[in-house]
Amino acid sequence: MADSTSVPATARSVALRLEGVRRAFGGLVVIEHLDLQIEAGEFLAVLGPSGCGKSTLLRMIAGLAPPDEGRMIAEPERPQAAFVFQDAHLLPWRTALNNAALPLELMGASREERHAKARAALDQVGLADAESRYPAQLSGGMRMRVSLARALVTEPRLLLMDEPFAALDEITRFHLEVQLRDLWHRRGMTVIFVTHSISEAAFLANRAVVLTRRKGHIKLDRRFDLPAIRRNELRSDPRLGREMGMLMDAMEEE
Amino acid sequence: MKKILPPLIPFVAVTVLVEALVRGGFVPSYLVPAPSAVLRALMDNRAELATAMGKTSAAAFLGFALSTLAGIGTAIALSSSRAIQRSLYPYAVFFQTVPIIAIAPLLVIWFGYGMQTVIACAFIVSIFPVIANTLTGLLSTDPALRDLFRLYGASPGVTLVKLRFPAALPQILTGLRVASGLAVIGAVVGEFIGGEGLGSVVDVARTQQRVDKVFAAVLLASVLGLALFGLINLISALTLRHWHASEQA
């Protein structure tokens, strides 16, 4: 089994470097002097207490909230990014297929192309049979999988996820975590995954950073020594327990 | 039947009660006519009332259509910028507060006696709920979805058509439901002052002490309001049935 340090970097992933980044809202400094380097094809988890700037960091990387100071350098420049939110945030008046096809529609793809790619993306997340259903007819887990399909449909180089499984029950979450890890391994995209959950971060990521409560400094930067292919059996593996312990110590001090 | 029966029961009960009270001499017929007398007035004056209803329907519908188009257009313009909203919204509120009966004579001076004045009355009375509800809907778009559209480079026009407008549709339809009834009221008031239709029938019948005919015309005006309301409900059912809780109960 391959070691986690050998991330599946391909031509479809993106490397990021943040240098001296600062972001404030009014007088409140959320992130200050943040330096962070993310390798191409890396699966990075970002942990920290509520209000520490995790989501702000993700929005800055997505280009939705530019930093007040500092620089963000992406290689290649202006990568195709996709964002998965805490809730599914689907368009309720569209079917699962048309929700998954939305990014391609906004980018000007033809109907045939976007429907073919959206069907493939829904198939990847196990929702091939649900393409004509509306969000109101789907369970919470299914809605989140449509949201994931919508993110994957553009074959993004950079996938940004903001606590996407926080609202789901544990069994659904375990299932989706395995599925996400497999997708990442097959596609080799760079993933930045914000979460409150120590177990989720350790199970999914190759590397985790823990942010401090104030000003979003990096308190811990940890690369995990865990297998590349991850199944639910790993959840009871002592190696995962050790990594979780490291993260918990850093979080508890906050 | 489940939808028709509940409102039908109180209607039949009140009709029977009023008929009994008038026939028994408890209520004088020059104040409240017996329902049978109203029905007779409807039949005896059917040609006149049908013509009047046609005119009122046309004016109310055109006034309502204008307020729908202008109201939604105004709300889109107001929602495009806080500065525009702050400077123009107070004038939109003006339409809500203007006493239509007081300015109707002015409208006769501006537009002359006839259909145009009646349409203008229906328009003025019914536009504000369309503006207010559409604006609320357009300003309530989910910020995460706005971010998503930005992330994929959607222009403001595309965001309006594919996100903000459909998301605002339930509120817009609520505004149209309120406006549909107000448009009929506006048209009838307009006809009191400067046009022909159910409003002028009520006015003339009043001066002739024909309370039964007044009631017949008022009944037809209510039917017209209900028909417009039903049309909006039908549009609402067709557009929202798959996704909005209001149409899934």
Average pLDDT rounded to a whole number, residues B99-124: 92
User: What are A69's strand-pairing partners?
Assistant: A22
| CATH superfamily of this structure's domain B52-243 | MetI-like (1.10.3720.10)
pLDDT tens profile B197-213: 999 999 999 999 999 99
pLDDT tens digit string along B118-148?
999 999 999 999 999 999 999 999 999 999 9
Task: Answer whether residue B2 shows pLDDT above 80.
Answer: no
Q: What is the pLDDT of residue B90?
A: 86
Structure tokens that stand for A84 in this block: 């998965």
Q: For residue B245, what pLDDT is reported?
A: 82
Mean pLDDT, range A43-54, rounded to an integer: 92
Tell me how close the Cα of A238 comes to any Cα of chain B, in angstroms. Answer: 38
Mean pLDDT, residues A61-65 taken together: 91
Among A13-22, A245-254, B83-92, B220-229, the range of highest mean pLDDT: B220-229
Residue B102 reports pLDDT greater than 90: no
User: Residue A4 above 60 pLDDT?
Assistant: no
CB-CB: which of A82, A85, A134 is closest to B144?
A85
- How much is the pLDDT for A5? 45
Q: How many CB atoms lie within 10 A of CB A182?
A: 14
DSSP string, A187-210: H--EEEEE-S-HHHHHHH-SEEEE
CB atoms A89 and B145 under 8 Å:
yes
Q: Which of B72, B69, B242 is nearest to B171 (CA)?
A: B72
The mean-pLDDT minimum among A183-192, B69-78, B153-162, B181-190 falls in A183-192
d(CA A122, CA A107): 19
Map out the domains of chain B as residue ranges.
Answer: 52-243
- Higher-scoring residue by pLDDT: A214, A71: A71
From the list B151, B158, B163, the residue facing A83 with the nearest CB is B151
Residue A10: per-residue pLDDT? 54
The pLDDT of residue A3: 45
Task: Check pLDDT > 70 for residue B193.
Answer: yes
Distance separating the N- and C-terminal Cα atoms of chain A: 35
pLDDT at B44: 96
* Mutate: best of A56, A84, A93, partner B, most B CBs <10 A: A93
A:B CB pairs within 8 Å: 51
pLDDT tens digit sequence for A181-213? 998 988 889 999 999 999 999 999 999 999 998
Cβ atoms B101, B140 nearer than 8 A = no
Q: Where do the domains of chain A lie?
A: 1-80+157-254, 91-155
Residue A7 has pLDDT above 70, yes or no: no
- Global pTM value: 0.86
Check B243 against A106: CB less than 8 A apart. Answer: no
DSSP conformation class of A137: G
- Give the pLDDT of residue B249: 63
Does the pLDDT of residue B62 top 80, yes or no?
yes
| Chain A residues close to B160, C-beta within 8 Å | none
Domain A1-80+157-254 has CATH 3.40.50.300: yes
Residue A111 CA to its chain's centroid (Å): 28
- pLDDT on residue B187: 96
From the list A64, A102, A154, which residue is nearest B147 (CB)? A64
Q: Do A134 and B142 touch (CB under 8 A)?
A: no
User: How many angstroms separate the CA of residue B139 from the nearest CA in chain A?
Assistant: 16
- What percentage of residues in chain A have a pLDDT greater than 70? 95
Q: How confident is the model at residue A14 (pLDDT cuts 50, 70, 90)?
A: confident
Which residues does chain B have within 8 Å of residue A154's beta carbon, measured at their own beta carbons? 152
Closest CA to B227 of B57, B51, B68: B57
Q: Do A50 and A80 meet the contact criterion of CB atoms below 8 Å apart? A: no
Return the exposure string of A41-51: e unless at least 16 CB atoms fall within 10 Å of the residue's CB, then b: bbbbbbbbeee
- If one compares A14 and A10, the residue with the highest pLDDT of the two is A14
**A12: pLDDT confidence band, cut at 50, 70 and 90?**
low
A106, A137, A194, best to mutate vs chain B, most B CBs in 10 Å: A106
Average pLDDT, chain A: 90
